[in-house]
Structure formats: C-alpha cells, structure tokens
C-alpha cells in the first residue's frame, strides 16, 4: 500500500483561541489544548490505528506542537523537524486578521505572504519537502504541526497551489489523513474532531 500522511494540528493555545497569527512565537498549550492532545492520543492508540506501530513520527519543534505530540503518546518516537514550523508571519506576528486588515486592506496570507516573514514560495518549498519525505516512506507517517503549514501540505499533497489552503480550515487538535484514490493523491479525512466529542 502506498504511504499516507497523518496530520495532527496542535492543541488550543491562547493565541489560537483569540485568532492571533502565531508563527514562531512559542505559545504554550491551554489546559483545553492539553486535554485535546490526550484525547487525540487515546484515539490513535485504539483501533484502527492501534498506536501506529512502526510509523515514523515528526513534530514541529515549537512547544505547542511538540507538547501535543508528547501528550498524545508519541514523544519518544518523534523527531523534531524545523520544516514543520508554522508560517513565519514576520511583521504580522501576534496580530488578528482584523488588525492586519486595518493596516493592509485586502491582505491574504495565501496570496501575499508576510512582510518580514515568509512568502508563498517559501512555504510551498517547505510543504513540498514534507510531501516528498512522506511519499518516499515505506509506511504511513505522522506529523504534529500547525494550522497554516498543515493546510499548505494538504494543498501540495493534492498537487494544488498553496493558495488552496485558504479553502480548507483546520481546527486545533484535529486529525487529517492524506492518502490515495485510484492511484492519485487524495484526502481520506480532513479536520476530524471525533475524538473531542462524546
């Protein structure tokens, strides 16, 4: 079977709750985020995943992703990878979309990039690196990372421009699976929050 990539977004933080762009600032998880990470881990250790024995695990080195990985029970197996860090928002770090629109009307990260941060081409290159790594694997892989970079990976897995990421929302502590259908890259599931309800 061709390898799939499982995408786990980090748990809730104060900045993600308030809508602030959180790129390279190392914001910790809220208690809600820690709880969600544990529930995600419990799900991945039950059928059909059964702990993902032998699966290669990588995480963004930023604490909100690495702690989510740890609390989900994959910390000992994970390797930190800078390529999975969130989009560098540069001058817009910590600002809400409304604050950014007040200084730059019409701005869209997926089209315009971030001043003093990363452009679309930069994030495309990083997403392509993750996709290439996942496709070269001999088995499924699991990554813990951030909303915008995971959406970029989703777009590039499908062979679409990173700008497609604007159309695929991703909630904190969600699980998504990118795989194959009829030999073509496909979305098996996206933004699955089933482990948080019940």
Give the active site residue among 70, 86, 93, 118: 86
Give the active site residue among 10, 146, 148, 195: 10
Is residue 148 annotated as a catalytic residue, yes or no? no
- Residues 53 and 2: their CA atoms lie apart, in Å, by 17
Provide the strand spans (E) within the chain.
5-9, 56-59, 78-80, 141-145, 175-181, 184-192
Is residue 86 annotated as a catalytic residue, yes or no? yes
What phi and psi values does residue 45 have, to the nearest 5 degrees? -100, 0
State both tokens at 30.
């809220």
- Residues 116 and 53: their CA atoms lie apart, in Å, by 41
Active site (catalytic) residues: 10, 86
């Amino acid at each position: 079977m061709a390898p799939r990539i499982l995408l786990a977004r980090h748990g809730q933080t104060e900045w993600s709750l308030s809508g602030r762009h959180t790129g390279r600032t190392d914001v910790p998880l809220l208690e809600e985020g820690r709880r969600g990470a544990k529930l995600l881990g419990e799900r991945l250790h039950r059928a059909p995943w059964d702990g993902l024995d032998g699966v290669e695990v990588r995480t963004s080195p930023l604490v909100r992703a690495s702690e989510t990985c740890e609390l989900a029970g994959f910390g000992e197996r994970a390797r930190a990878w800078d390529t999975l860090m969130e989009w560098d928002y540069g001058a817009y770090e910590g600002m809400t979309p409304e604050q950014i629109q007040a200084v730059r009307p019409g701005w869209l990260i997926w089209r315009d990039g971030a001043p003093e941060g990363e452009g679309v081409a930069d994030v495309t290159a990083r997403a392509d690196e993750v996709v290439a790594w996942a496709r070269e694997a001999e088995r499924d892989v699991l990554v813990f990372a951030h909303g915008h970079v995971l959406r970029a990976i989703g777009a590039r897995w499908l062979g679409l421009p990173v700008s497609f990421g604007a159309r695929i929302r991703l909630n904190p502590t969600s699980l998504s699976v990118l795989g194959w259908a009829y030999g073509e890259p496909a979305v098996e599931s996206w933004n699955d929050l089933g482990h948080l309800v019940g």
